Structure 1
């Protein structure tokens, strides 16, 4: 995840988390990035010094977020926790296992793991129902 310092056309400053520059550009072009203060969709990146990650990243992230963002992040953490508690981790065999379940070749159960972009595209095209787990800031530490 990448953290960007952002500002809106009303000069409000805030931060946002994105997988990469392309995600920021795509979401901004679709009007999905808005100022948390005035809700303006006219948002751009501000100059930002690189950050150094420490063991207190979760607390730092929470301190820079608005209440709605903190609540959403907590909800995403809870979703991720529940899935991991109630599903089998299959690692990089996710696509293979998902197909076996879809075709009835193995028992139906919840699974999670990793898959390439190509594998995900192929699963979706074949009608296999999947949902990505939220990627959390602490997953990169």
Structure 2
């Protein structure tokens, strides 16, 4: 997996994960890469800081164990409310797309993803629930998963 910092024509920057650089290019050409804030398909790669590994004979400084947190700020509460509403709209669209095109395997997600990856079950798109630990284990095994925050259904 590779992560790119992307920028839309409206100036919004965001991060997206792809299987490879060529997968990004293919998805972009098909119009599948869009801005999560304004839905623009006019996307370019934003400048990124390189991730340079330390020499193997150097001891890396280990930061204090901390849970990563994503934060967002806006100039005023009205702007923030608008951004939250746009994000909820986008995530609702993602949820609807996933529900329409993928099989819900519920809490058996990690188990079923492994079966598909190792050829023990038919290859297909699935969605469901997994713990943070299960998700990390799947990624460590090289199993392509994409954690997505899913908003509650309107009728839930």
Partner of residue 71 from structure 2, selected from 33, 40, 45: 33
In structure 2, the partner of 1:135 is: 150
Quickly say closer, same or farther: Cα 1:35–1:93, change in 2 above 3 A.
closer
- Quote how far apart the aligned CAs of 1:120 are: 1.3
Counterpart CA distance in 1 for 2:132 and 2:83 is: 30
How many residue pairs match? The answer is: 89
- Quote how far apart the aligned CAs of 1:90 are: 0.8
In structure 1, the partner of 2:105 is: 90
In structure 2, the partner of 1:124 is: 139
In structure 2, the partner of 1:41 is: none
In structure 1, the partner of 2:125 is: 110
Counterpart CA distance in 1 for 2:116 and 2:135 is: 15
* Runs (5+) with no aligned partner, structure 2: 1-65
Quickly say closer, same or farther: Cα 1:111–1:104, change in 2 above 3 A.
same
- Quote how far apart the aligned CAs of 1:67 are: 2.0
Counterpart CA distance in 1 for 2:132 and 2:73 is: 30
Deviations along 1:18-46, whole A, 9 cap, x unmatched? xxxx87xx43xxxx5343117xxxxxxxx
The alignment yields a C-alpha RMSD, in angstroms, of 2.8
Structure that is richer in helix per residue? 1
Counterpart CA distance in 2 for 1:134 and 1:33 is: 14
Counterpart CA distance in 2 for 1:87 and 1:68 is: 28
Higher RCO, 1 vs 2 (CA within 8 Å, ≥6 residues apart): 1
Relative to the length of structure 1, the TM-score reads: 0.52
